[in-house]
Amino acid sequence: NAGVTQTPKFQVLKTGQSMTLQCAQDMNHNSMYWYRQDPGMGLRLIYYSASEGTTDKGEVPNGYNVSRLNKREFSLRLESAAPSQTSVYFCASSESVGTGGFQPQHFGDGTRLSIL
Amino acid sequence: GDSVTQMEGPVTLSEEAFLTINCTYTATGYPSLFWYVQYPGEGLQLLLKATKADDKGSNKGFEATYRKETTSFHLEKGSVQVSDSAVYFCALGNTGGFKTIFGAGTRLFVKA
């Protein structure tokens, strides 16, 4: 019962370094999402992928890129990290909207990223 | 656009007290409504949901009723425990869309 798995769990970077956050889900979900969570700011959507082969910008896409590698995997890349990107990053997945209406999201446990 | 407003925290209660966390929404059409809970160091997890007006979602002693006339989905629990200390998020999703709209979250502290 892995659900949504994120790696790494913790990471410290220097300004200007690049890194990729990995996310994989084993629930055969069509849709996947990347959020960041900052104190007092709630959850903010960075990018999402409604289905394999598509990606779209969310509220705060600047400074990030994503890749929907296959149906299971959705990665988030920081090309040149900045201190403002220090945050906790969550990946989530959900089934497509069906007869049961809008489906809930399933979240990973997050990646805690600090940029010095 | 669609939005969710929930009461600001933190909310501090003694064990066995009654809990209410208010949530109201603005949306077109007939959204589905959710409550998620986030324990320290973890991701959000679904607590309960309701998909149409007058539906009551319930789980682990928590309840919320989808009130279309007041556009509300308030979370209640009759007797909280220390283990209920967490952040609670109200959220909505609309048919035809892919994005969930989250409230800002309400932190609950329960004292023994």
**DSSP-assigned letter for residue B106:** E
Tell me how close the Cα of B16 comes to any Cα of chain A, in angstroms: 28
Provide the pLDDT for residue A100. 62
Provide the pLDDT for residue A103. 86
Average pLDDT over residues A7-36: 96
**DSSP-assigned letter for residue A82:** -
Q: Which of B23, B38, B42, B44 to mutate to test the interface with A (most CBs of A within 10 A)?
A: B44
Provide the pLDDT for residue B72. 97
Provide the pLDDT for residue A110. 96
Ranking A48-52, B40-44, B95-99 by mean pLDDT, the lowest is B95-99
Average pLDDT over residues A59-76: 96
Nearest to A104 among B49, B104, B105 (CB): B49
Please give the residue that has the higher pLDDT: either A72 or A51: A72
Q: Which of A43, A74, A97 to mutate to test the interface with B (most CBs of B within 10 A)?
A: A43
Contacts of A42 in chain B (CB under 8 A): 89, 102-105
Please name the residues in contact with A1: beta carbons below 8 A apart, sequence gap of 6 or more. none
Please name the residues in contact with A101: beta carbons below 8 A apart, sequence gap of 6 or more. B32, B51, B52, B93, B95
pLDDT score of B98 more than 90: no
Please name the residues in contact with A102: beta carbons below 8 A apart, sequence gap of 6 or more. B31, B32, B51, B93, B94, B95, B97, B100
Q: What is the CA radius of gyration of chain A?
A: 14
Nearest to A104 among B43, B46, B97 (CB): B46
Please give the residue that has the higher pLDDT: either B94 or B89: B89
